[in-house]
Amino acid sequence: MHYPDFPFKRIHLKETNSTSSYLRTLCNTQATEEFTVISTDFQTAGRGQRGNSWESEEKKNLLFSLLLTPSFLPANEQFILSQVVSLSIKEELDTYGSGFSIKWPNDIYWNDKKICGILIENDLQGSYLSQSIAGIGININQEAFHSSAPNPVSLKQITGKEHDLNSILENILCRLDSYYKKIQSGYMESISQTYYNALFRKEVFAGFSDKNGKFTARIIRVEPSGLLVVADKDGMERSYAFKEISYIL
Ligand code: BTN
């Protein structure tokens, strides 16, 4: 289905294996406009981070992928895309209640539960980005979760109400469009500060684990490269790339 009134080019599919895989194939086979969105009612092979699958009941949730072509962005600044995608979603969810935060690097949490997962797949050309596919799953109206995913929650479980998927999607894309323009205008520092302020468990001592075991530390900053820097009770700093550290929930 096509949406003539929708301010972004959108293709909605009743079913697909994965909106991100569909979008990638589309880009490989034809010229595809930046900000094209593929959304679906149901994914048969939804992909998550760390090789996990992403499960979602048919027609209940937002499942979409968005194409960006940030050829102006140096590869070592690609984390800014994770920041603006996460912020656009978190700020839209903030309009429905409190308790939303970004769990580094780019999960959206409500208190200690996960409401949204983001999988960003970047392609490079030389030392710049060429294409970025942001795949986003947000639990909106699902009432019960059966998969092994840890701590899922939906917006309906939080608010007690059913929500309109299309208007939430449109609002998120408008927010993202405006953040994307800020990146193009070079406002990286202010975006990173806003991202830091939105982080889950920042500046409080909390349990983490890394390859050496469990420890207590607090988040003190996120480097522009995306590295997470934590400090233990003695002030000793350690920095981690994605997948090198886990939160103990
Ligand atoms: C995560 O594991 O937290 C990331 C989940 C990302 C899921 C979304 S749903 C839409 C898009 N298509 C996919 O196959 N995955 C992403």
Burial class (CB in 10 A: 0-12, 13-18, 19+), 155: buried
β-sheet bridge partners, residue 64: 39, 136
Residue 52 pLDDT greater than 80, yes or no? yes
Specify the ligand 1 atom closest to the Cα of 40.
Answer: 10
- Number of helices (H), then strands (E), belonging to the chain: the values are 5, 12
Ligand 1 centroid – CA 156 distance (Å): 20
pLDDT at residue number 65: 98
Indicate whether residue 18 lines ligand 1 (CB < 6 A): yes
pLDDT at residue number 147: 75
> In this structure, are residues 206 and 213 in contact, taking their beta carbons and an 8 Å threshold?
no
Structure confidence by residue, pLDDT tens digits, 88-97: 999 999 999 9
Indicate whether residue 40 lines ligand 1 (CB < 6 A): no
Tokens of 197: 């302020």
> In this structure, are residues 57 and 142 in contact, taking their beta carbons and an 8 Å threshold?
yes
Protein residue with its CA nearest to atom 16 in ligand 1: 135
Structure confidence by residue, pLDDT tens digits, 77-111: 999 999 999 999 999 999 999 999 999 999 999 99
- CB under 8 Å, gap of 24 or more: what pairs does 187-191 form? 188/77, 188/80, 188/224, 191/80, 191/83, 191/84, 191/87
Ligand 1 centroid – CA 236 distance (Å): 35
| Cα(87)–Cα(187) distance, integer angstroms | 14
Residue 1 pLDDT greater than 70, yes or no? no
- Chain centre distance of CA 184: 20
| Cα(113)–Cα(107) distance, integer angstroms | 10
Structure confidence by residue, pLDDT tens digits, 112-131: 999 999 999 999 999 999 99
CA dihedral 190, 193, 198, 199 (to 10 degrees): 140
pLDDT at residue number 2: 65
Neighbours of 32 (CB within 10 A): 17
Indicate whether residue 105 lines ligand 1 (CB < 6 A): no
Structure confidence by residue, pLDDT tens digits, 141-168: 999 998 777 799 999 999 999 999 999 9
Indicate whether residue 54 lines ligand 1 (CB < 6 A): yes
Protein residue with its CA nearest to atom 3 in ligand 1: 117
Nearest partner of 136 among 193, 88, 72, 70, judged by Cα: 88
Specify the ligand 1 atom closest to the Cα of 52.
Answer: 2
CA distances from 152 to 110, 168, 235 (A): 9, 19, 33
Which pTM does this prediction carry? 0.96
| Cα(102)–Cα(196) distance, integer angstroms | 9
